[in-house]
Amino acid sequence: MKKIVLITGATSGIGEATAMLLAENNFNLIITGRRQDRLNILKEKIENETSAEVYLLHFDIRNPDQTEHAIKSLPNKWQKIDILINNAGLAVGLSGVNNGVLDDWERMIDTNIKGLLYITRLVSDKMVEKGEGHIVNISSIAGKETYPMGNVYCATKHAVQSLTQGMRLDFLKHGIKVSSVCPGAVNTEFSLVRFKGNEGQAEKVYEGFTPLDAHDVAETILFVVSRPRHVNIDDVLVMPTDQAFSRDFNRKK
Ligand code: NDP
Ligand code: 8X3
């Protein structure tokens, strides 16, 4: 029987690429995000191109009631979630703390930390009952290093690293695997979101070097979730060859 994987933030970037790759590799999928039109298109594409079954849930992960309602609305056959991929997340703005924009801080903290916790609480409770499951948190190089003006985003990803370790400890006796995947720069909608739709600023981030693409990270996630039951990949750092440190790029121009 195919395992069921729930991927948060599957409407673009790493989440979308992971949904596609896992569908091609014998997993059934619950895909989530706020943009329902994109979820519909992805569901149709996966169902046309693979043998995977797809269920979609659209909700804002910052809202605990919406998140709980969505998870509780799952039909019986979709309730046994084997793998949770906590991917939904974002950076908003770049500024010193003295110039910080409160709304930007709240969006990052509410999505990357609180949203991750809301959904993990609901899904992991069922995993504990079953005595098995796997939680994969998409963290970042920003969870291992802090870069200038990235203070709050980096803090949220450091929190994801800490929560990964905390979950690993707490779920040890329940047979639940917990992993963290930490990418360096990936060319997705991430920078467009960070710069609030400014395409010029977003494109500059990836100029002069070859970043990862979403499929590179999806391949890492596929490896992490397809290890045998007795193997847990605790933490993976996957970087572009052209990036050695969070802000140390081998730019050609
Ligand atoms: P994208 O912007 O392409 O994708 C982000 C996804 O998160 C979207 O599907 C978006 O869906 C979802 N999301 C954001 N806010 C919410 C919300 N409030 N409720 C539900 N879903 C939400 O970026 P990436 O694919 O790059 O980012 C995926 C993860 O990877 C993030 O956690 C990011 O921090 C991390 N990461 C990214 C790196 C990069 O360089 N790109 C590097 C390291 C880590 P929707 O808008 O439809 O709700
Ligand atoms: C996203 C990558 O550039 O913020 O986590 O380090 S970056």
Interstrand relation of 54-58 and 3-7 (parallel, antiparallel or unpaired): unpaired
* CB-ligand 2 contact for 142 (6 Å cutoff): yes
H/E run at residue 33: strand 27-33
3-state secondary structure of 140: coil
* pTM higher than the cut 0.95: yes
Across 185-204, average pLDDT: 98
- Tens of pLDDT, residues 107-139: 999 999 999 999 999 999 999 999 999 999 999
Residue 245 banded pLDDT, cuts 50, 70, 90: confident
Interface predicted TM-score (ipTM): 0.98
Mutate which of 156, 180, 190, 195 for ligand 2? The one with the most ligand atoms within 8 Å of its CB, which is: 190
Interstrand relation of 243-245 and 248-249 (parallel, antiparallel or unpaired): antiparallel
- Tens of pLDDT, residues 158-183: 999 999 999 999 999 999 999 999 99
Q: Residue 138: name the closest of 85, 98, 206 by CA.
A: 85
Domains of the chain are 3-249 (3.40.50.720)
Q: Give catalytic residues, as residue numbers.
A: 153
Mutate which of 113, 189, 190 for ligand 1? The one with the most ligand atoms within 8 Å of its CB, which is: 190
